[in-house]
Amino acid sequence: APVHSPVSGTIVKIDEVAGFTGYSQPAIQIKTDGDQWLDSIDRSDVLISTIEGTRQELVQKIAEAGIVGLGGAAFPTSVKLSVPAGKTIDSLVINAVECEPYLTADHRVMLEHAREVLVGVRILMRALEVKKAFVGIENNKPDAIAIMKETIANIGAAPEGEISVVGLKTLYPQGAEKQLIKAVLNREVPSGKLPLDVGAVVSNVGTAYAVYRAVQKHQPLVQRVITVTGTGITRPGNFLVRIGTPVEDLIELAGGMPADAGKVIAGGPMMGQTVGILSAPVVKGTSGILVLGKAESRRPEVTPCIRCGRCVNVCPMGLEPYILETLSRAEKNDLNEQMDERRVLDCIECGSCAFTCPAGRPLLDYIRTGKQAVMALRRRTK
């Protein structure tokens, strides 16, 4: 997706900078000049509900604005909206589940910008040419469910079609695409297939808000709401943050680094990345910055697998994590083939297996390694 500068200034250089994990990634360094937004960007709070433009024009605007999925994957939204020939989409599912512990950015967006979110949903409906949209919200957010339903009722019938709010039981990892489609539409996405194969497209609620800002207010994706919280953080909250802001500046904004900090995570505690470089910039997919204490960060002692089956019971994809871990550790090509047969690539990396393991085994770490090995094997055998 295109990248836009979140500040006015001069490009100093295009270089490599350290990301969250320490690995270098391309970045543009800008010397700011203190100027403000372009005049073409509408910064007023006036709601613009009239949607103009054809389907193709809307998709083009979304693409040019650099809009991506804000739930974490950061997949270009315009690609999702460009449905391949032969595929029929009948439903848009808006992911407002936000099932990761600690994260509340999407929750806050719904409470403060429900009207804008719903216009964004209508834009997505028009771009997909669907008549039904469903906003999935877990029932631990009753205020968000209430305000979204109230806003839909006040707006009345949308010309694009019907928008419904679906209250869901609180269950991790219900925010994953396949799990959400099952919960909202009662459709199973087969192994190796995508949501569009069952007639659905999933988009994050924060993405819907960004789509509204892009199409109606002409603002590209240069900022997003990020949760900053955790043990010892004295001023936790949700902040509107410009893309490229250093992690350390956000922590300082929230009261500074606690004395007993043990780990900083970009994202949530289950699926987030450990931040090894505090000067690393936040990116479009950064939903939160979480600071955990030393006691919470300590890894449990690893002991032999006791074959209790807990990892199998909690796996939302019906996999056998303890077997996949064993195969991955062996690092043999024939075992990589077995991992492929056991659908290791279906793993959504939710971390439920490792979280429930009484032996403290790093199941997800080995499964991630196994997925890379299987993908490499597939490339070699093509």
Q: Do 192 and 234 sit in the same domain of this protein?
A: no
- In the DSSP assignment, the letter for residue 22 is S
Q: Do 256 and 231 sit in the same domain of this protein?
A: yes
Count how many domains the chain has.
3
Mean pLDDT computed over 68-91: 94
pLDDT tens-digit readout, 195-247: 999 999 999 999 999 999 999 999 999 999 999 999 989 999 999 999 999 99
Domain for residue 189, yes or no? yes
Q: How far, in Å, CA of 29 to CA of 376, rounded? A: 34
Q: What is the pLDDT of residue 116?
A: 98
How confident is residue 101, by pLDDT bands cut at 50, 70 and 90? very high
Q: Do 81 and 178 sit in the same domain of this protein?
A: yes
Contacts for 365 with CB less than 8 Å, ≥ 6 apart: 354
Give the range of the structural domain holding residue 345, as residue numbers without chain letter: 310-380
Angle ∠(362,364,370) on CA atoms, nearest 5? 110
* DSSP-based three-state secondary structure for 72: coil
Q: Do 76 and 189 sit in the same domain of this protein?
A: yes
Decide if 31 contacts 38 (C-beta within 8 A).
no
Decide if 333 contacts 291 (C-beta within 8 A).
no
Answer whether residue 125 shows pLDDT above 90. Answer: yes
Q: What is the pLDDT of residue 336?
A: 81
Mean pLDDT computed over 87-109: 97
Q: What is the pLDDT of residue 46?
A: 94
Q: Do 107 and 250 sit in the same domain of this protein?
A: no
By mean pLDDT, which of 58-67, 122-131, 191-200, 333-342 is the weakest? 333-342
Decide if 109 contacts 118 (C-beta within 8 A).
no
Q: Do 328 and 350 sit in the same domain of this protein?
A: yes
Q: Do 135 and 61 sit in the same domain of this protein?
A: yes
Percent of the chain with pLDDT over 70: 100
Q: Do the bridges between strand 162-168 and strand 200-204 make them parallel or antiparallel, or are there none, so unpaired?
A: unpaired
* H-run or E-run covering 132: strand 132-138
Q: What is the pLDDT of residue 334?
A: 76
The encoded tokens of residue 297 equal: 């960060």
pLDDT tens-digit readout, 272-315: 999 999 999 999 999 999 999 999 998 889 999 999 999 999 99
Answer whether residue 64 shows pLDDT above 80. Answer: yes
φ, ψ of residue 133 in degrees (nearest 5): -130, 140
pTM, to two decimals? 0.94
Q: Provide the CATH number for the domain around residue 259.
A: 3.10.20.600
Q: Do 179 and 43 sit in the same domain of this protein?
A: yes
Please, what sign has the CA dihedral across residues 91, 177, 169, 320?
positive
Decide if 153 contacts 114 (C-beta within 8 A).
no
**Closest to 207 measured CA to CA, from 91, 90, 113:** 113
Q: Do 263 and 319 sit in the same domain of this protein?
A: no
Q: What is the pLDDT of residue 237?
A: 98
Answer whether residue 267 shows pLDDT above 90. Answer: yes
Q: How far, in Å, CA of 350 to CA of 314, rounded? A: 10
Q: Do 212 and 228 sit in the same domain of this protein?
A: no
- Averaged pLDDT of the chain: 94
Q: Do 285 and 315 sit in the same domain of this protein?
A: no
Answer whether residue 187 shows pLDDT above 90. Answer: yes
Q: What is the pLDDT of residue 156?
A: 76
Q: How far, in Å, CA of 122 to CA of 369, rounded? A: 40
Q: How far, in Å, CA of 171 to CA of 374, rounded? A: 30
| Whole-number Cα distances in Å, 91 to 34, 136, 209, 223 | 44, 13, 19, 28
